[in-house]
Chains A and B, each alone.
Chain A
Amino acid sequence: MQSREAEPRDDLVIAGEHFRSRLIMGTGGAPSHDILERAVRTSGAEIVTVAMRRVTSGGAGSVLDVVQRIGCRVLPNTAGCYTARDAVTTARLAREALDTNWIKLEVIADERTLMPESVDLLDAAEQLVEDGFVVLPYANDDPVLARRLEDVGCAAVMPLGAPIGSGSGIRNPYNLRIILERARIPVVLDAGVGTASDAAIAMELGCAAVLVASAITRAEEPVLMAAAIRKAVEAGRLAHRAGRIPQRLYAEASTAHEGIADLTVHTG
């Protein structure tokens, strides 16, 4: 029997850094640090996001302790910022606090949709790239904006599949396909994943990675969902690399017709 072929490495590469996992985990919404730690470990994620907020009595930095114990790269975000100025300042505060020049750039337009404010997003991205940041912008699923973000020097582009926390999957796979076809930087699906199949679809379409927070942290069993989404990301990636068959309206026989027996009954 032939030995199984060794799986070649298929790393996610962002700004020259290599990662084995193509699942990036957001830490928002976890019921406790303990569950968060077990979920992150189970997910296999090597990059996890955190937010910057006011220190409250009770001490600073416990989520950071979790991240450090696991040995992940910490990716601060600018969640809650509505203007380019606030986002740029928050990014600089995060760099100062966490010794990282990586930033998940979020500039949101309103609380109800949490959709990106594209004009300020592009402005902030440009300023931060200029200032030496590795910028990963949370963007709308707009191919033109994705291209503009790439042009100003973002290290990746992270279009939403659906509004943050909505868990409603990829609402516009056609736009995502256009973004994927044109991008020369990694495309990370950010927001919208509700369950494992959503992550698999993103990866099958060709996303370089998927960022998942609520789907894991707010699941009834976050650790189980972390395992499910990890497998979905891996399966989707393999399927993408394998090259799927085209979708057809009618059947396409998988068994050859040649050589079929003549079983006609001749009577009389």
Chain B
Amino acid sequence: MARSRVVLSAAMVTAAALAVPLHAPPHAQEAGHVKVARGTVQIERAGQKTPAAVGAAVQAGDVVSTGPDGSVGITFLDNSLLSAGPNSVLAVDRFAFDSTTHQGSFESSLRTGTLAVVSGKLAKQSPEAMKVKTPAAVLGVRGTEFLVRTGDPKKD
């Protein structure tokens, strides 16, 4: 009896181990890397917040946030540069880039705060490929450098 229980729990452990990949985000894919991190910077991935250091990978689906003393600069695989000032929340909604054809798409949302953008190869290849959203607006990017501030002024 005890023995069969051991076998059973071993089987369950194996099943759990096999099930793990199913819990991974379906489109987890490297999108870029943190190159500048000052003050408090966090990356939220699958509900977990971790401090972001220089060199940390950013994936599609990540939400990058900065504290009152924080700022962050990210270089994406298509050479787009996104950098956020203090009290900012930036979501990388979608990122796909084919390094041979330069096709794909890049969508991000600044939920609050300030953002400086230099668009990269995706926007150059196709003007539809890059979009930046805020709670109030959608930006179409025909290249190349622009600034975004959004948020509730009463909070500032």
Co-complex (A, B): no
